[in-house]
Amino acid sequence: QSALTQPRSVSGSPGQSVTISCTGTSSDVGGYNYVSWYQQHPGKVPKLIIYDVTKRPSGVPDRFSGSKSGNTASLTISGLQADDDGDYYCCSYAGNPWVFGGGTKVTVL
């Protein structure tokens, strides 16, 4: 069982928006602004798309945005594209260790 709770799957049509939640506790998500999100395609290395709750690494489109409210962080993908199909993982600092969510499968219909 993962420390952070994510929905198993979300789906949307091209052009739509989807939001993935990541629920933790005051000891991890709620306690630190060190939430990150990763996109992973089958057989590939996880790709960082959001770090420190809201920041985007260079090269990541602004269609990806992150936020946090209390013990829940969220990743929103706007203008869904076919290439967004994949697995998404949240990660949070928990006062050492770092903890991950179980992952969410995003399906572009």
Partner 1 sequence: QLQLQESGPGLVKPSETLSLTCTVSGGSITSGYYWAWIRQPPGKGLEWIGEIYHSGSAYYSPYLTSRVTISVDMSKNQFSLKLRSVTAADTAVYYCHRRTVNSSFRDYWGRGTLVTVSS
Spatial contact of 99 and 88, defined as CB atoms under 8 Å apart: no
Q: Is 85 left (phi over 0), alpha (psi -120 to 50) or beta?
A: beta
CA distance linking residue 94 with residue 102, whole number of Å:
16
The token pair at 62 is: 């602004």
Nearer to partner 1, 8 or 13 (CB): 8
Least distance between partner 1 and beta carbon 107 (Å): 17
Query: What size, in residues, is the chain?
Result: 109
96 binds partner 1 (CB under 8 A): yes
Nearer to partner 1, 6 or 80 (CB): 6
64 binds partner 1 (CB under 8 A): no
Longest C-alpha distance within the chain, in Å?
39
103 binds partner 1 (CB under 8 A): yes
Using the rule CB under 8 A, give the single segment among 8-16, 19-27, 74-82, 98-106 that binds partner 1.
98-106
Least distance between partner 1 and beta carbon 80 (Å): 22
Beta-carbon-side half-sphere exposure of residue 97 (alpha carbons within 13 Å): 7
**Interface with partner 1 (CB under 8 A):** 2, 34-36, 38, 45-46, 48, 51-52, 55, 57, 89, 91-93, 96-103
